[in-house]
Homo-oligomer: A and B are copies of this chain.
């Protein structure tokens, strides 16, 4: 449950480095969207589309760009209203750990495991042999930490997360519910009409400040390691295959899949439901449109779309022309009638 604090509009202006216009003594104890804000709420206008709400909002204080607030209520002028709103959101609603601190009596911590003193392990938590959980980390109920795992400091690991043997997780990593880190990769060799499993002796390394979405799966390497670089954010239901390396500060949207041994650079933006085949190299700052199928390397800074993926501008031209195919067929028919004396045939009528 959220225990609030109360600040004056003047306090807030000071914290965000803004200029206060209006009642500096107005008491603020929460944040809300401008359509829903009450007299005790801070709100913001960043997008001009929302300026129309300024006249009607009941908000106690409004973060706006300088000169964008009109005559309405108590304004706090800042260059970046949304970013400052988020900062204050964290002040009013600090991240809520919804279980009691400490190790729950039902949790099973292996005698050889090491759990830092201020770690929280929820009900039915399991920490396997020789694993280490760093200071300040919170494991919500029903987590499996296998053997020889390292989880860093200030991590947040939610229910039904499985972190398999020998996986290394950095600091301040958030793993949402149901994510699976370190299962065997999908590797088999044909053997007398059946398949023989390739043992997966490698592991997974997750960098600092990574977030991993709900029910996302990350396979361990055959040998060596699958890597998710520092600051990278993975959405829900993503598949990362064995021996993949994702760089730093890359964001990947939901339901995307990356096949084995592909490497993705830093600061990339990858849309949802994208498929990336195996053994590719994607550079830094690459952008990939949703539902694309990437079947070749992509150079630094390139933007690609479509399945198979092509340069984004070519893909857009092609999409327009595909929609115009019925018209192109008609134009070919007109030419044929003129040149070859051909009549429109039935087959062309669709």
Q: How many A residues have CB within 8 A of the partner chain? A: 112
Closest Cβ neighbor of A293 among chain B residues: B291
Q: Determine if A275 and B275 form an interchain contact, defined as CB atoms under 8 angstroms apart.
A: no
- State which of A8-16, A247-255, A296-304 sits at the interface with chain B: A247-255
Chain B contacts for A159, CB-based, 8 A: 144, 146, 162
Main secondary structure of the interface of A (DSSP, over half): loop
Interface membership of A213, Cβ < 8 A: yes
A294 to chain B, nearest CB (A): 10
Q: Determine if B162 and A177 form an interchain contact, defined as CB atoms under 8 angstroms apart.
A: yes
Q: Determine if A314 and B322 form an interchain contact, defined as CB atoms under 8 angstroms apart.
A: no
Interface membership of A141, Cβ < 8 A: yes
Stoichiometry, as copies per complex, reads 3
Q: Determine if A147 and B98 form an interchain contact, defined as CB atoms under 8 angstroms apart.
A: yes
Closest Cβ neighbor of A291 among chain B residues: B293
From the candidates B177, B275, B317, name the one contacting A291 in the complex (CB within 8 A).
B275
Chain B contacts for A199, CB-based, 8 A: 86, 89-90, 93, 95
Q: Determine if B217 and A236 form an interchain contact, defined as CB atoms under 8 angstroms apart.
A: yes
Closest Cβ neighbor of A143 among chain B residues: B142
Chain B contacts for A319, CB-based, 8 A: 308
From the candidates B186, B233, B334, name the one contacting A340 in the complex (CB within 8 A).
B334
A133 to chain B, nearest CB (A): 16
**Residue among A99, A214, A277, A325 having the largest count of chain B Cβ atoms under 10 Å:** A214
A189 to chain B, nearest CB (A): 6
Contact with B along A192-214 (1 / 0, CB 8 A): 01111111010000000101011
Closest Cβ neighbor of A201 among chain B residues: B93
A168 to chain B, nearest CB (A): 15
Q: Determine if A1 and B180 form an interchain contact, defined as CB atoms under 8 angstroms apart.
A: no
A→B interface (CB under 8 Å): 1, 31-33, 36, 82-83, 86, 89-90, 93, 95-96, 98-99, 104, 106, 108, 122-124, 126, 128-130, 140-142, 144, 146-148, 158-160, 162, 164-165, 174, 176-178, 180, 183-184, 186, 188-189, 191, 193-199, 201, 209, 211, 213-215, 217, 219, 223-224, 231, 233, 235-237, 239, 241, 249, 251, 253-255, 257, 259, 267, 272-273, 275, 277, 290-291, 293, 307-308, 310, 314, 317-323, 325-326, 328-329, 331-332, 334-336, 338-340, 350
